[in-house]
Amino acid sequence: MAQRGRPVHFSYFRTLSEADADIRRAIILEQDTRPQDLINFLTRIYGDARFEGLREVKFSRGVCCFYRIEDERYVREDYFSSGEFFLVNLYRRLQSGTRLIFIDEIDISLDAAAQARLVEELRTLCTRFSVNVVFTSHSLALMQTLRAGELLYLETVGDQSLLEERSFSYVKSVMFGFHGWDRYILVEDEEAKQIVQHLIAKHCTPAFYSHHIIEVGGAGQVVSLLQRNRAQRFLAPAEAVIAILDGDQAVTGHANEPDTYCMPLASLESAFEAVYDQPDFAPRLPPNTEAAIQPHGRHKALYKAYRRLRLLSDQRIVEVACEPHAAALQVFAEQVLVPFLSNHPGDGLIAPDAAEEA
């Protein structure tokens, strides 16, 4: 965390050390208070009651937190753990009126559980204090808690530095890769993953190759990740990775990329909407819920409502959405998934005409 190019985290150590006499005097005179909001913040992040005894005292150059111990001694905040000291000063900066805060490696002194809880706290406090926080991190635990639009990936391409919005799965794949799987299938989102899983279970059992399905984000991100793997092989050799896009991408340029296929469904949500619109479909949404759904984006809202209200299990939603397209989905599975997952090395693919002749 920086101010005017100086690292506040470390410069404040010297400030506290130089002001020890002032701090000690204020403590002896019992001019300290209980920083309840700060205690609540720290407690929510660490998930325990270790901060109940925290006190705070003002001195000429700032504020200092401390704990009283026996024999009128005290422990000053610069003797806290590095993570605790960082969070104390981060909270102060958030409530100081600063409008933009940059933090380098925000996770470096926090365990995985604290990292995950910190992000939610930052969302609340940024709204409360009208401040924006930009931070860097290499922590998967922290990145996984970020919402759509909050995660950007910085990379150098040639002589240019690019900062672009990316999904968690995309960043995880590029930075850390996956190991231990024979085949990888890249899809856009969790809904596409459910369809592919459904097809594999129905048409590709048993599969010779172990596989992992990665929900990457938008179609552009899926294709980009496929291209990067082809060049850098951070997932697996190029022939061991394919991309399966939603059917609504069939009319875009993404569908023409090598090793890229489009499902016979525009999307799980739109397929489920078509089934829901049949007059005999049941169970229906409650009338008030259905009336609240707007025409724009209706397919996504219907799908989310069923999941939220648990009117159907996720598996059953996929089954009823896929049923009207069973023939097309079976052809897709047999032409794309079965050869990719179920053929033993060396067996090759038998063309339909050759199979009939055999």
SS3 (DSSP) at 51: coil
Shared domain check, 216 and 72? no
Shared domain check, 202 and 130? no
Q: What is the pLDDT of residues 71-102, one digit of tens each?
A: 778 899 988 998 999 999 999 999 988 899 99
- Two tokens at 33? 């208070």
Spatial distance between the Cα atoms of 182 and 201, rounded to a whole number of angstroms = 17
Phi, psi of 128 (to 5 degrees): -65, -40
Residue 152 clears pLDDT 60, i.e. is over it? yes
Spatial distance between the Cα atoms of 305 and 290, rounded to a whole number of angstroms = 9
Place of tokens 């995309």: 170
Q: Is residue 335 part of a domain?
A: yes
Mean of per-residue pLDDT scores for the chain: 87
Shared domain check, 330 and 186? yes
Residue 229 clears pLDDT 80, i.e. is over it? yes
Q: Is residue 351 part of a domain?
A: no
Q: What is the pLDDT of residues 3-44, one digit of tens each?
A: 344 444 445 677 888 888 988 888 888 899 999 999 999 999
CA atoms within 13 A on the CB side of 52: 4
Query: What is the CATH number for 29?
Result: 3.40.50
Cβ-based neighbour number of residue 198 at 10 Å: 18
Spatial distance between the Cα atoms of 74 and 329, rounded to a whole number of angstroms = 70
Shared domain check, 286 and 186? yes
Instruction: Tally helices (H) and strands (E) across the chain.
Output: 16, 13
SS3 (DSSP) at 23: helix
- Two tokens at 51? 């901060």
**DSSP letters for 93-160:** HHTTT-SEEEESSTTTTS-HHHHHHHHHHHHHHHHHHT-EEEE----HHHHTTPPTTT-EEEEEETTE
Residue 106 clears pLDDT 50, i.e. is over it? yes
Spatial distance between the Cα atoms of 102 and 65, rounded to a whole number of angstroms = 23
Mean pLDDT over 343-352 rounds to 44
* Pair 63, 38: CB distance under 8 Å: no
Q: Which amino acid is at 191?
A: E
> Where is the domain boundary, 135, 152, 167?
135
For the ranges 142-156, 243-257, 286-300, which has the lowest average pLDDT? Answer: 142-156
> Where is the domain boundary, 135, 170, 203?
135
Cβ-based neighbour number of residue 275 at 10 Å: 15
Shared domain check, 206 and 115? no
For the range 73-82, what are the long-range contacts, defined as Cβ-Cβ under 8 Å and sequence gap of 24 or more? Answer: 74/24, 74/27, 76/16, 76/20, 76/23, 77/16, 78/12, 78/13, 78/16, 78/17, 81/109, 82/109
Q: What is the pLDDT of residues 318-338, one digit of tens each?
A: 999 999 999 999 999 999 999
Question: Given this model, what pLDDT does residue 343 score?
Answer: 63
Shared domain check, 54 and 195? no
Shared domain check, 312 and 201? yes
Phi, psi of 102 (to 5 degrees): -105, 135
Q: Which domain holds residue 234?
A: 180-346
Which percentage of the chain shows pLDDT scores above 90?
58
Q: Is residue 93 part of a domain?
A: yes
Cβ-based neighbour number of residue 105 at 10 Å: 11
How many domains does one find in the chain? 2
Phi, psi of 208 (to 5 degrees): -70, -40
Mean pLDDT over 152-180 rounds to 82
Residue 230 clears pLDDT 60, i.e. is over it? yes
Question: Given this model, what pLDDT does residue 356 score?
Answer: 35
Which helix (H) or strand (E) segment holds residue 60: the answer is none
Q: What is the pLDDT of residues 242-290, one digit of tens each?
A: 999 999 999 988 889 999 999 999 999 999 999 999 999 999 999 999 9
* Pair 154, 171: CB distance under 8 Å: no
Banded model confidence at residue 353, pLDDT cuts 50, 70, 90:
very low
Shared domain check, 241 and 109? no
Question: Given this model, what pLDDT does residue 11 score?
Answer: 58
Banded model confidence at residue 342, pLDDT cuts 50, 70, 90:
confident
pTM (predicted TM-score): 0.65
Shared domain check, 196 and 88? no
Question: Given this model, what pLDDT does residue 178 score?
Answer: 72
Q: Is the dihedral of CA 257, 263, 269, 273 positive or negative?
A: positive
